[in-house]
Structure 1
Amino acid sequence: MNSIRNRDTRAALFDGIEEGGIRASSSYSSHEIDEQENDRAIDGLQDRVAILKRLSGDIHEEVDSHNLMLDRMGNDMDASRGVLSGTMDKFKMVFETKSSRSMFTLVVSFVVIFLVIYYLTR
């Protein structure tokens, strides 16, 4: 396939050359055709470049919005981590100050109340 293209290119380059002279009309029309093909190819490339530019701009906007969303989510996670650590500190204080017997009584009473409500609603 490459050799066919090379022959066509050679034929286009040397189309107007004869022994001892150049045919002006034949080379001029071939040159015009080549320029028209080049202009069409350039227009096609310009369209593709414009499409790629728009796509890259859209990708950039999408990446920026995702980065912003991830930053917000990270900040929210930090805030919730702070709330949870404060809650855990309060639980530690409750467990350390209460006696184990009163805590056991509290837990058992909650379990019993839960079971009674469960069987009543069933």
Structure 2
Amino acid sequence: MINSRRDVRGNRAALFDGIEEGGIRASSSYASRELEDDENEKALDSLHDRVNILKRLTGDIHEEAESHNRLLDRMGNAMDASRGALSGTVDRFKTVFESKSNRRMATLVASFLALFLLIYFLTR
């Protein structure tokens, strides 16, 4: 009978030790989960902040790209306009130098201009 009591006590101790260890394990497991949850929340907040920063950055890049596209469009339109004006001027010069009488007139004007410049530099 004494042996059976020892066995019962030993079994009880083993039983309660296991429960206490399980309780401790459960509470430490719960505490570690809370720590992990806190760390996850912090990481999630950090990730959320980074996403917001990237979102603002991509928005700024988009606005800058749109601004540059508008600038390039205006520059292209200005270049087209100047190309049209230049081609019109070249066409007029072609028509002036193609006809013989106009060529004589252009030679006469150029001669007077050269003579005027020569006199101007000599009298100076």
- By how many angstroms is 1:114 displaced? 2.5
Q: State the superposition RMSD in angstroms.
A: 2.1
- Residue of structure 2 in register with 1:37 after alignment: 39
Scaled by the length of structure 2, the TM-score of the pair is 0.70
Amino acid in structure 1 at the alignment position of 2:65: V
Identical-pair percentage: 56
| Bigger RCO of structures 1 and 2 (CA < 8 A, at least 6 apart) | 1
- By how many angstroms is 1:21 displaced? 4.6
Q: 1:107 aligns with which of 110, 121, 124?
A: 110
- Residue of structure 2 in register with 1:61 after alignment: 63
Q: 1:116 aligns with which of 109, 119, 123?
A: 119
Cα 1:76–1:24 change in 2 (3 A) is: same
Distance, in Å, in 2 between the alignment partners of 1:83 and 1:108 is: 27
- By how many angstroms is 1:97 displaced? 2.3
Amino acid in structure 2 at the alignment position of 1:48: R
Cα 1:61–1:119 change in 2 (3 A) is: farther
Cα 1:115–1:39 change in 2 (3 A) is: farther
Q: 5+ residue gaps in structure 1? A: 1-19
Scaled by the length of structure 1, the TM-score of the pair is 0.72
Cα 1:70–1:116 change in 2 (3 A) is: same
Rg larger for: 2
Cα 1:98–1:32 change in 2 (3 A) is: same
Amino acid in structure 1 at the alignment position of 2:107: F
- By how many angstroms is 1:84 displaced? 1.0
- By how many angstroms is 1:36 displaced? 0.5
- Residue of structure 2 in register with 1:11 after alignment: none
Q: More helix by proportion, 1 or 2?
A: 2
- Residue of structure 2 in register with 1:75 after alignment: 77
Q: 2:97 aligns with which of 95, 101, 117?
A: 95
- Paired residue total: 102
